[in-house]
Each structure stands twice: as structure tokens, then as C-alpha cells.
A and B are shown apart, each in its own frame.
Chain A
Amino acid sequence: MQFEVEVVLGNEVRDLISVLTTKVRVLSIRQVFRTWPKFLPRLSALERAGLLFSFTAVTHPELAMCCPVVRWKKGDALPDFGKVSYVLRSRWSLPGVTTKCFIASRAAGRMFGGNGGRYPRESEETHDIHLAAVYLRFRDCEPEAAKSWIHEAQIKSERRQSRGKLPDAIVQKTRVIEFGGAYKKAKLAAFHKYCEAKGFDYEVW
């Protein structure tokens, strides 16, 4: 049977689905509540309509995303990777909590010209929720950059080679946004080398 969206989707609901299909892979219920508070009661209707799927994940409690841990521009001095690595690795100190999360369905992905239907792997859940937090921070503080946000799924579908480093997101065409997990010094150095070679500035959050 053909799929049709037979519920009314207002502009704000469209905004939420558009973010889930083109900007981030997953949003936690807290993030939805912070950004689209009016639509919390409508999430189950969107699930029934086949546009969103929910699931429960065990993730590290969401860290506050105030500013990047390191920001580098072409011409800047080499960052102290050891220090950055220490900051990135020392912040995962709390036990996991259960969090209700949402992803867009494949149909929503097609309808909104993005991606959907892929649940994050267990190892990606904490990363994806925090990357969504970084995106939402951009929406608040740098709306123009947020508009130009290209998510890794789109970067992957549009680049020629299938292997190699895939940044989490690119904004304004030349600025790579990476959410740093417990990155070791060597991984940060490799990431820097990649960005430098490609001519990107970067921010690790």
C-alpha cells in the first residue's frame, strides 16, 4: 500500500522533522522539549503517522554544550592535542541513564529530502545525542551557520570515495564540526591532519 501523510503538519512540526532528516540523526525527548515544547504531545501522533520512530537508549547524561573544546583555523598554531584529549576523555564520568529518543522514518527522510529510518548503533547513541545538542546550540547562537549545516549522512552520499574520514558535520562549506568522544591524542592529530589537508577549519565540541 502506498504511504501518505494524512495528518496536518504545521510549520513547526515540519521544522522538527526537517531537522531530524537533514541535520541530525537522533533527538532526545529533552532536546525536543527544549526546542519545540508545544509539540511534545504530538510526537505520538507523528509516530502513528509513520514519520517518527521512538526508542529508549542508555546514554551518558547530556553534557552542556557551551563552546568547543578546541577551535582551529587555517594559519593558527597547532593545538595541544594532549591537553585536548585529556579534556575530552575526562568528561565521561557519570553512569548511563535511559533516554527516550526519536529518529525520522525512511518515509519522512524521502519526503524532506534527507535521511531516515536508521537507528543509531549502541556505540553511536551518546555521540549522536551530543551532536544534536551541538546543532541545537548552533541554531540558537549561529542561525546562519546552522542553516548551512551538512550532516555526515549527506556528506557521505555526495562524496566520491566511500572510505576515509567522515566529519560529523560541515557548516559554511569550510568549517568541520566534530563531536569529540573519548578521543586519544593520536586520533586528534589524525583529525587535524585530515582537516588541514582538505583546507577546513574545525571545531571539536
Chain B
Amino acid sequence: MYERDELILKHIGKYGHSVRAVIEKLFFADATSDHVLNRLVKEKRIVPASGIPGGMSYYRLSLSEARARSVPEHRARPKKGPALRLVLQVLWFCCMSEKNRTLLDRKKIRETFGNGNGSGKPHCAESDGEQSIVYRIYAPGPNSRDDYLLKCLRSDMEKGLERPELKSWIEAGAFAFAVLVETPERKEKLKRLISKTGPYEARIWIEVVPGLSNFALEIRKRGMERSDVN
């Protein structure tokens, strides 16, 4: 097996789902990946699936490949609705932003920060030269209440500060809370609410990331998607 195949399978296993444009950005320097993805599909190592509005398909590991790699089976199952949105938003936040970010393994997170409120949320590491920061990711749904989100953030921060292993990271500014929203208008509103209800003990980073309603459009806008459209 090619080394690149291994990297692609690891990537899909880690994020649960991935799309052609992301795979091409990460492993093909934006060149076409058709030949490799088609071969992996033919070998039944990955499975294409539809479900992203706008006629875009995504890839997940086949169940046999997930078992062979000890990847939790739920990651290899097709997702829809909020679960699919969360996977795509985390994928975009980690792989399509200009920053160098990678999703962290849940087991590693529990080992480092212990079990507690919010430890089941996705976490990612961002490195910028010598500085690096771990983000706990919140991806509120389109109909979720902002005041409730801020209440959860504050509660998770307070509980986190009670745990010495997390407290030292928060105080050093190496642990922050990322909120992924779908629209710039919501980002502005959240910023206003945060400054009104703050100060908060930890840094809150708000980023606009496409959701189900515009994921396909944003991918195409970037000119990276070529032939995933049904």
C-alpha cells in the first residue's frame, strides 16, 4: 500500500468523514485525487456517501477498514442532521482554515486533561510557530440559544478551572474555547453578548465555518471541488 493511501485512511478515520476537496488540499497539493479515491473505493476501504445539501458526496471508512484500524465503528457509519454538521464543521475548522490545526484523539484528551464537563467535545491543537493552543470546539446548531451557549461555556470554564491539570493550561493561555457559527451576523452577536456578559476566565474564539446549508457552496467557491457533484 502507498504511504499516501495510509495517510488518507488515517485522516478519514480521525475525522469520521472527509470530502474530496479537503483530501486534495492536504495530500495532493490541490491536484486531482480521483485515481486514488476511486481505487480506495474499489478496494472497499472507503465508502462514498451522499447527504451534504448541494449534491456533494463525502467519504467514510468502510466498516471492515474501521475494524482493522481499531477506529470506533460509529465513525464509519453514515451521519445525518446535527451529527453530519458537526463532523463537517470540525473538518473545515481543522483542515480548511489558514491555520495549522489538527483534531486530537479523545483518549489523549482524557489522559491530558482528565474526564469532566466538556471532555467529550472535539478538541483540536493549533500550532503557530513556537506557540500552540488547544481548542475545545462548540458547534451550536442553527436554532440553539446564544444565552444557553454562553451559560454552558461559563460552566465548563468554571468546572475546568477546578481541575488542576486543565487550570494550568487555561491560565497559561494554552487552552481556549472555539465556537463555530454559520453566519458572520451570529458571530457579531455572540461577540457583543460575550463583551456584555464577560469577562470570561478563558479565551473564547469565534469562527465562521460553513454548516450544512453552505458547505458545498463554500467548497466550490474555493475552486477545489471538481467532480463530486452528483
Contacts and interface: CB of A to CB of B under 8 A. Distances in A.
Interface of A: 2-11, 14, 18, 21-22, 106-108, 110-114, 158
Contacts of A110: 142-146, 186
A41 B192 CA distance: 35
A76 to B, nearest CB: 32
Interface stretch (B67-75, B116-124, B213-221): B213-221
Contacts of A4: 81-82, 85, 141-142, 212
Nearest to B181: A113
A44 B182 CA distance: 22
Contacts of A5: 142, 211-213
B223 to A, nearest CB: 16
Interface of B: 53-54, 81-82, 85, 141-146, 181-183, 185-190, 192, 211-214, 216-217
Nearest 9 CB-CB pairs, A to B?
A: A113-B189, A113-B186, A3-B143, A111-B142, A107-B143, A113-B185, A9-B213, A5-B213, A8-B54
A2 B143 contact: yes
A118 to B, nearest CB: 15
A108 B141 CA distance: 11
A5 B182 CA distance: 11
A111 B53 contact: no
Given A6-B212, A6-B213, A112-B185, 17 more contacts: A2-B81, A2-B143, A4-B85, A4-B142, A5-B211, A7-B213, A10-B214, A21-B185, A107-B143, A110-B142, A111-B186, A113-B181, A113-B185, A113-B186, A113-B190, A114-B185, A114-B189
B207 to A, nearest CB: 14
A112 B141 contact: no
Given A111-B142, A113-B188, A114-B189, A6 B81 contact: yes
Given A111-B182, A113-B187, A8 B217 contact: yes
